[in-house]
Amino acid sequence: MANVIVIGAGLAGLASAVRLAKLGHQVTICEQDEHLGGVLGRVEADGFSWDAGAASTTLPAALRDLFRKSGRPIESLVQLDPVTEPRRHMFADGSVLDLPVSDRGAQEEAWTGLAGAAVAEQWTALVDKYGDTWQILRKTSLEPPLEDKLPIKTVRALKPWQSLEKVAQRELTDERARAVLRHFAAQGGSDPTLTPGYIGVWSYLERTFGRWTIAGGFGALADALAKRADERKITVRTSAEVAAISTAAGAVTGVRLADGTELPADVVVSDIDPRVLYESLIEDPVAKKVRKKIRSTHQAQAAYVVHLGLKEPVPELPFETVLHGTPTVVVRTGGTAPAGHQAWSVLVHGYPTDDVLDLLVARGLHVRESVVSRQTSPSWWAGVAWEGYKTARRRASNVSPVKGLYCVGAGAHPGSGVPATTLGAAIVADAIGKA
């Protein structure tokens, strides 16, 4: 049995903790904030409630596996519900596309209605091809640790040197279809010209596995994981900032908290910004090479998020609406509100120079006079921005060269987002193994 300390109680940290506890290890979570969950939390005010960060996910099997491998199935704590409404795309030319999430035929029909059969066939063929990409990524990158060197056959199949923008320009003749494909880079805070084309695989995952939300909002997922941590008898320390990781002979020996408390450890799992981890918390010479690698990365641009409480009547929108333009604006309607009201979350991807309400009005959503509550989400660590395909190897590896140190979360392999960070926690739990 190893004495494990998990630094940070975001989704990846909590997922790692409950998996390792189920494997028989003694686990302690050190979280600098007062609450668990990181960006999975809620924003509540004036009778409204909004998800602070994620509000839905694809690849629900990743969450189901997490709960099954840490105890009882996810349904014992929260209910995963499919998002049945199409995602709405509103374009600068005034056209609107309601694109079904999990239906190949319905997607093709929607594109045909907007842009004609040729564009619909282009989109469908492109998403179909991403099925092969998914199988390659799943076997080489998303389920196992990233290999030091991928087989040349795999590299040729992925074509990592081709950007998402290049794929959009080559495969799609309609600018609106290109904009929809680019959105898979924008929602991760990256530039499509610097994002590998294989990231478009998320279009295939959504169409194949659907998109899922949680009854009561994604904040309920943080509550469920906190309850699972309690069931697994994990020690949880909140308001416990880690100031340093202690090492000896290239291996971790414990952590020191900001208040001076020393906690011994055989294993440390970090769910914080890897730049902070390697620059500020660990000084061991073994980390010198990885420290240099991490320095070459830059933070992805987190969306600027404003939560609006609106008095009806307001425009009827589906679960998610993408307002294409500069900057791209996403409106989510899944919050909870008093009777006669709606709760919207507005995410701005890019550098906003205008007020959120001005952006909405300019895109045709006239809700200024309906606002009765306005709240802002705190900024969060959004992971590593794509700066070419080599970024994949510049992210923090799940297994550190420092013995007993592991990395999970948005800044580590395999990347940001609910599915990727959950899969990263599974990789680390498998690497550490049973007690």
Same domain, 220 and 204: no
Same domain, 327 and 293: no
pLDDT at 145: 84
Same domain, 222 and 339: no
Give the model confidence (pLDDT) of 222-253 as tens digits. 999 999 999 999 999 999 999 999 999 999 99
Same domain, 340 and 390: no
Same domain, 108 and 193: yes
The packing angle between helices 219-231 and 60-70, to 10°, is 20
Token pair 């923090």 in the structure block, residue? 396
Residue 86 lies in a domain: no
Give the model confidence (pLDDT) of 326-350 as tens digits. 999 999 999 999 999 999 999 998 8
| Final residue in a domain of this structure, among 340, 355, 376 | 376
| Final residue in a domain of this structure, among 210, 240, 272 | 210
Same domain, 162 and 18: no
pLDDT at 141: 85
Same domain, 137 and 201: yes
How many DSSP H helices and E strands does the chain contain?
14, 19
pLDDT at 379: 75
CATH number of the domain where residue 64 is located: 3.50.50.60
Same domain, 165 and 273: no
| Final residue in a domain of this structure, among 183, 210, 237 | 210
Q: Quick check: 65 and 42 in contact, CB under 8 A?
A: no
Three-state SS for 212? strand
* Cis previous bond, 144, omega within 30: no
Same domain, 419 and 284: yes
Residue 114 lies in a domain: yes
- Tally of domains in the chain: 3
Same domain, 404 and 270: yes
User: Which residues lie across from 97 on neighbouring strands?
Assistant: 89
pLDDT at 4: 98
Looking at residue 337, its amino acid is: A
pLDDT at 347: 95
Q: How far apart are CA 407 and CA 409, in angstroms?
A: 7
Three-state SS for 398? coil
Residue 390 lies in a domain: yes
pLDDT at 322: 98
Residue 45 lies in a domain: no
pLDDT tens, position by position, for the chain (435 residues)? Answer: 899 999 999 999 999 999 999 999 999 999 999 999 988 889 999 999 999 989 999 999 999 999 999 999 999 999 999 999 999 999 999 999 999 999 999 999 999 999 999 999 999 999 999 999 999 999 988 888 877 778 888 889 999 999 999 999 999 999 999 999 999 999 989 999 999 999 999 999 999 999 999 988 899 999 999 999 999 999 999 999 999 999 999 999 999 999 999 999 999 999 999 999 999 999 989 999 999 999 999 999 889 999 999 999 999 999 999 999 999 999 999 999 999 999 999 999 887 778 999 999 999 999 999 999 999 987 777 899 999 999 998 999 999 999 999 999 999 999 999 999 999 999 999 999 999
Same domain, 205 and 122: yes
Q: Which domain holds residue 328?
A: 304-376
CATH number of the domain where residue 329 is located: 3.30.70
Same domain, 271 and 363: no
